[in-house]
A and B are shown apart, each in its own frame.
Chain A
Amino acid sequence: MASVTLTDVRKVYHGGVEAVRGVSFDVADGSFCVLVGPSGCGKSTLLRMVAGLETISGGTVRIGDRVVNDIEPSERDIAMVFQNYALYPHMSVYDNMAYGLRNRGTPKAEIDQRVREAARILDVEPYLDRRPKALSGGQRQRVAMGRAIVRKPQVFLFDEPLSNLDAKLRVQMRVEIKRLQRALGVTSLYVTHDQVEAMTLSDLLVVMNGGRVEQIGTPTELYRRPATRFVAGFIGSPAMNFLAGRIENEGTVTIDGHRIALGTPARGMLPGAAVEVGLRPEDLQLANGGGAQLSMEVEFVEELGATRLLHGRSAGGAITVQVPAAETRSSGTLGLAIDPALVHLFDPADGRRAGMAG
């Protein structure tokens, strides 16, 4: 197995599109790293540079202690799973999995043993003689995974492997990928724009935006302490509320005159400075009696079964609150209670997490 190390990796396409602008991070041996970000942020490009499918314009990519910048994809000891699976349509499932091994001159008996084992693990044994065309989307996905694991690579690369599946199958395959990766212990890089996939799969989560890394950390770190407004809005579902506010003093912000206490002092911020106050819908509670710090006017309700989302307006902007299904209040003007420890502040100028550093 091997770690993957990116150092100041850049990609400029022909025509001057800067898709990746200096990305550095380190994926430890055996861990699962997810690259997440909006469409066009350069995730696929970065992954394809690790795979060797795209030339590297600057910086270095290391797999283990080997710089692989100028090494052919087949020599990098990686395996990739594509979004559209990219199975060879004219080959049987068996041949699809065996092809790479044959090209490497692996002995026949060993190929057979590895393919059958992968087929068993992935539950595709009955289909070994079929063409990919005669398989369902989920089965194709498994075959694509099988093709990757028979090679016993140092690194798995996934580019949105689940986005062609329906919602239910996606959840199922997600769990399976995670289990498989744990069992095999292979270092993995996984690209997605689905933040739930990102949170659930990753040991290390890399949020990208505009060709740059916004924040790297464990999913919990990114959820609890988003370093930028972008990350705060991207991680967590439903998305965080952002309300326009002002610093009153180190321990308080005001939103349109409503005073909200801060758990950690807003150090280094001048009183009167504008801030964006980030509040997660699931961190807000309906106030009982007189404890309301903010109030909202409910406009409509989304029923989710176990919980309910109240959408409406409050001082400082639109707001969404998640309440348990047992909650009976769901219309009119409601008071909100805010836990000081769960207030996030962002500098409106550069979007960075403000004041509460440390």
Chain B
Amino acid sequence: MVERRTLFGRLLPHLVLLAGVAVVAFPVYLAVVGSTHESAVIANGQMPLYPGAQAADTYYRTLFIGPGRTTREPVSGMLLNSFLMAMIIAVGKIAISILSAYAVVYFRFPLRMAAFWMIFVTLMLPVEVRIYPTYKVVADLGMLDSMAGLTLPLIASATATLLFRQFFMTVPDELVEASKIDGAGPFRFFKDTLLPLSRTNMAALFVILFIYGWNQYLWPLLITTRDDMQTIVIGIKKMIVTSDALTEWQIVMATAVLAMLPPVLVVVLMQKLFVRGLVETEK
């Protein structure tokens, strides 16, 4: 389809894309702007569209002191909690699922397919569905208000297991056989061949799972009560109180901006690997 397009015809796609970007970017811009004004300015209901002068002060207070009137927790602690939770969930999910996929694909053991189907079926049972029994178990194990309670129930992952299984099935059998002849046992084959080949897949999954962990809301809300166990997503919610007068909006905005940064950083830093993991099959 080679056609001479008019100026308008060439501009139109860009206009549509720009409109899309604006819709996505405007709220983010508002949050950034909001975090640079004094509390009173926003509380007045006059949200300015230009940056104010309070940025340094607001971010300092947000990170190290916390909103004076509501939660009083510095956001740096929440950031750390969220970061730890997202990391543990992402790394844990990848570790567990790559091992289970390895077992399901490369070993013959009794009830292998049964195990596979059981993993598969849990796809239908996300946290929200099994939240009561899961809460009960975690509570009985005494893991409320702990990092373990926050992350363990979220680590098992059928999706990641399935993805690794699909990938392993595309690895030629001859590689396993060549490894056997080269004297590499199951562990060596996993470490020397399968892991390096899965690198890009792991990177792609890591990005997705880190963001999944970072964005968790319902589960941390249930499981954490202590302020120092709070994640940043919960923290934002708690900063907003019904009475507008008490809400320090500039700090809420700053927290929102801070909450966006780590996922963005992860995506940006891992983008090259991430894209390769999605498109490339390096064999």
Contacts and interface: CB of A to CB of B under 8 A. Distances in A.
B228 interface: no
A103 B178 contact: no
A100 B183 contact: yes
Contacts, number: 59
Given A74-B182, A99-B192, 16 more contacts: A52-B181, A73-B180, A79-B181, A80-B177, A80-B178, A82-B177, A84-B172, A84-B174, A86-B174, A86-B175, A86-B178, A90-B199, A90-B282, A100-B181, A100-B182, A103-B188
Interface in A85-105: 86-90, 99-100, 103-104
B283 A89 contact: yes
Nearest to B181: A73
B225 interface: no
Interface string B188-203: 1000110011010000
Given A103-B188, A104-B183, A88 B174 contact: no
A53 interface: yes
Contacts of A86: 172, 174-175, 177-178
A96 to B, nearest CB: 9
Q: Which bracket fits the contact residues of A?
A: 20 to 34
A193 to B, nearest CB: 18
A73 B188 CA distance: 15
- Chain A CB within 10 A, most for which of B175, B177, B184, B199: B177
A88 B183 contact: no
A78 interface: yes
A82 B196 contact: no
A319 interface: no
Contacts of B181: 51-53, 73-74, 78-80, 100
Contacts of A133: 282
A73 B174 CA distance: 13
Interface of B: 172, 174-175, 177-178, 180-184, 188, 192-193, 196-197, 199, 282-283
Interface in A46-65: 51-53
Contacts of B193: 88, 90
B10 to A, nearest CB: 38
A53 B188 contact: no
A110 to B, nearest CB: 16
Nearest to A100: B182
B197 A89 contact: yes
B185 to A, nearest CB: 9
Contacts of B282: 89-90, 133
